[in-house]
Structure 1
Amino acid sequence: MSVDYRLVEEDIISSIAWSRILLDIGILTDIDQKLIEKTLSQILKDNIDDTNKILSSQAEDIHSWLETTLINKLGSLGKKLYTGRSRNDQIATTLKLWCKKKLNHIYMLIIQLQSDFLDQATIHVHTIMPGYTHLQRAQPITFAFWCLAYIEMFERDRKRIKQALKNSDFSPLGSGAISGTSWVINRKKLAQIMGFANCTSNALDSVSDRDFILEILSVASISMMHLSRFSEDLIFYNSGETNFIGLSDSITSGSSLMPQKKNPDILELIRGKCSAVYGSLFSMFTLLKGLPLSYNKDFQEDKKHLFSALDTWEDCLTMASVVLKNITVNIDICKRAAEKGYSNATEVADYLVNKGVSFRDSHDIVGQIILEAIRLNKSLKNLDISVYQKYHINFSNDIYKCLTLKSCLDKRNSYGGVSFEQTEKSICFIKKRLNKIKNILKI
């Protein structure tokens, strides 16, 4: 009860649907069904905002509590509701209904987070910063380009949520304990009453299936990994070693000893919470791997893993939006960092390729030039032309046009590239995609 009390609304929804099916087959009269539905709705209204009465009861679980409460209010009429129904198909149905509601809410949070990334991308199209591989400065990118990368990550999460919702949109209700029900009911109609697309096909599988939980937790784990990478990036960008961004005081804290510290607490917590969601997924795999068909009491453990993981995912998505909405990008510092570290070295190699030198040879030549530049403590754009010509005769003064950050970015103009032009196109495309989704969802 301390865990599945949260299923009260879904248990009542499935019970109301079942009462309508019992009306169809003559177990309930029209008056009886309406009274049961009205009573169930009132029970929900009385308990949805204050669950203390549920939690303080001596009931084994939410289903037992609801049954007892209904019988206490309606007497023998309340007992009729449980004709042909087992707690096995009831809990499977209730869990799926809860997952649908929770996932639809998380789906909205994903869209909101993408919108927050898009807002930052729109502001920072021309904010140049270093891109990294192996945590070494690699090539210049923009903060907008970084934001667009995460939009694509969370777009895959959005699609996975949509697919998980579709895969679980089958009602198990009417499967009975393991073999179906002897009552002639319309299970497809029953499913539609509750908002499912269809009903499951095999009663034995229906009451023991928890694949939908595994799939949802898998989606949650992948998305939490994306949130963890996002957090790690910003922790690094916020560090004193880079100082690319500033974080709001509302999501940071000071040190108990060192007054100069401003610690990125929320980002570290998001990163840490990722492991808890992974743990829920692995726990569910371990829980299910040895279970024979069909229902087993081990299933009582599934809800705490599901609820904990999805609550954590929801909280972390919400906090990621808070972080993004209150971030400050230190534009000048980012640009100066992009100018260091020889991030324009590839442009020198490409320059030689355009002069007829093979890329492999030009790669080696530029490596030697960089060593010389390091020895002279100069950037590539500040090297004298004589230094370039020392390593290859094809260098001329036009090399300097290739070494500006703008030139480096403009050349990456292929589809999906970092150029300002491609970034603007990507922003436009994503804005249309998000607006289309929001229009469909009416948000």
Structure 2
Amino acid sequence: MSSKAWGGRFSEQPEAWVDEFNASIHFDKTLIQYDVQGSIAHATMLAKQGIISDTDCDQIIEGLNAILADYEQGKLALDVSLEDIHLNIEHELIKRIGDAGGRLHTGRSRNDQVATDMHLYTKAEVSQLIDLIISFQQTIVKIAESHIDTIMPGYTHLQRAQPISFAHHILTYYWMLERDKSRFQDSLKRIDISPLGAAALSGTTYPIDRHETQSLLDFSTIYENSMDAVSDRDYIVETLHNISLTMVHLSRFAEEIIFWSSAEANFITLSDAFSTGSSIMPQKKNPDMAELIRGKVGRTTGNLMSMLMTLKGLPLAYNKDMQEDKEGLFDAVHTLKGSLRIFEGMIDTMTVNVDHLQETVYNDFSNATELADYLVNKNVPFRNAHEIVGKIVLWAIQHNVYLLDVPLEQYQSAHESIEPDIYNYLKPENCISRRISHGSTGQEAVKKQLEIIKQNLN
């Protein structure tokens, strides 16, 4: 005779290694607080509906709270032979309070029980992720406000392109995170749904009240189809996607941090608290936190792909494959939460090397477009202006000078309309200040962007 909760029709016990393979207790213990929360709501509803007595309900709730407290204090031993957190709690509850504990599972299956736990977990964690994103955005805004007038080279193809405001550059990541936040917020509509009461797949014959447990667990609505309730993992896929895309954005930012902090760029200096050294080269200061965040995108993307592959061939309703929905989600959530906290601390403590950035844009050709615009303002067609400036740049390269060093006679030989004001026109700070279009890098445009952000940041 099997000792399993489902062992009535079985005559043999599985070997220990089979139990180990089948079990999920090693990772689904993460759900214990949500399992207790769901069970308390279920017991409360059963008593209200007259399915169990008030006395049994009180014993169940008291027992569940005691089990959770013991777990949190490290006093509860979990048994792999009991497979998962749900059966471990039920077994412990029956051991403590007797038959009343055995009545808890009335009108419920592990299928809707675990689905409820996962909805509660995902809802709570997504809400925390949104808060962490907002905090990170606030730090970005703080940095941007301090560097509206800080000039840096903007890049395309990782080649110097045009001078831009450091504030404008870093605010790009604010807006990426804003879209990430919006996706998480929208996903809550599909997470905040109660599957409790769907039972195994077809509902139950007991007169339960699903709306009561929905209310007790603070879900916005319930699944209208019991099979959909226990088989839906769309919200997990969506959460994994949102995490993966947010991590991609952090990875892009990390790549810039890594480049900016290099000796070749020297745009920023990272705090020692967010850097590491070398075991052999004593001079090294490595941007390891940024590199780790960049590397962890492989984990989160892999978790998304794994979940999609798990679901792609599953028939309705519940299948054991769905046990694989947890580890990847738990890992992805943990990874993003850690990455957001680390990244916020890393940029909050970094030093922007303002003087070097200023020097940098004076020693490149990122003001070449301004020269073309200057000629356009002299009624030269842009295509002609582009060719003229290209030839001037070539001359400057050949003579090892930059555009601000090109002699006036050389300019005028290229085009007679160029006047002495060209040198003031080509200064990087003036290149930026002339950018007046909405959303541009000009100081006034950046200030307007920050006003819009402050109206919306919450």
TM-score (norm 1): 0.95
Q: Which runs of 5+ in 1 are unaligned?
A: 438-443
**1:23 and 2:47 matched:** yes
Q: 1:3 maps to which residue?
A: 27
**1:93 and 2:93 matched:** no
2:62 and 2:452 map into 1 onto residues whose CA distance is: 48
**1:327 and 2:355 matched:** no
Q: 1:60 maps to which residue?
A: 83
Of residues 154, 159, 163, the one that matches 1:136 is 159
Write the letter of the residue equivalent to 2:352.
V
Pairing 1:218-297 to 2, within 5 Å after superposition: 218-297=241-320
Question: Structure 1 stretch 419-428 or stretch 301-310: which is displaced more?
Answer: 419-428
Deviations 1:38-89 (A, max 9, x none): 2222222221342x62435642100101111111122111111111100001
Q: 2:59 maps to which residue?
A: 35
Pairing 1:37-436 to 2, within 5 Å after superposition: 37-50=61-74, 53-56=76-79, 58-434=81-457
Contact 1:175 1:181 in 2 (8 A): yes
2:314 and 2:45 map into 1 onto residues whose CA distance is: 32
Contact 1:5 1:54 in 2 (8 A): no
Write the letter of the residue equivalent to 1:42.
A
Write the letter of the residue equivalent to 1:369.
I
TM-score (norm 2): 0.92
SS of equivalent to 2:153: strand
Contact 1:9 1:48 in 2 (8 A): no
1:310 and 1:261 map into 2 onto residues whose CA distance is: 32
Contact 2:144 2:171 in 1 (8 A): yes
2:100 and 2:207 map into 1 onto residues whose CA distance is: 21
Write the letter of the residue equivalent to 2:155.
Y
CA RMSD of aligned residues (A): 1.3
SS of equivalent to 1:181: coil
Report the number of matched residues.
Answer: 434
Write the letter of the residue equivalent to 1:290.
G
Question: Structure 1 stretch 31-40 or stretch 312-321: which is displaced more?
Answer: 31-40
1:55 and 1:373 map into 2 onto residues whose CA distance is: 74
2:210 and 2:410 map into 1 onto residues whose CA distance is: 81
Q: Which runs of 5+ in 2 are unaligned?
A: 1-24
Shift of 1:297: 0.7
1:46 and 1:160 map into 2 onto residues whose CA distance is: 37
Deviations 1:327-347 (A, max 9, x none): 011111111111222111111
Shift of 1:144: 1.1
SS of equivalent to 2:162: strand
1:286 and 1:61 map into 2 onto residues whose CA distance is: 23
Write the letter of the residue equivalent to 2:375.
L
1:120 and 1:393 map into 2 onto residues whose CA distance is: 44
1:248 and 1:400 map into 2 onto residues whose CA distance is: 38
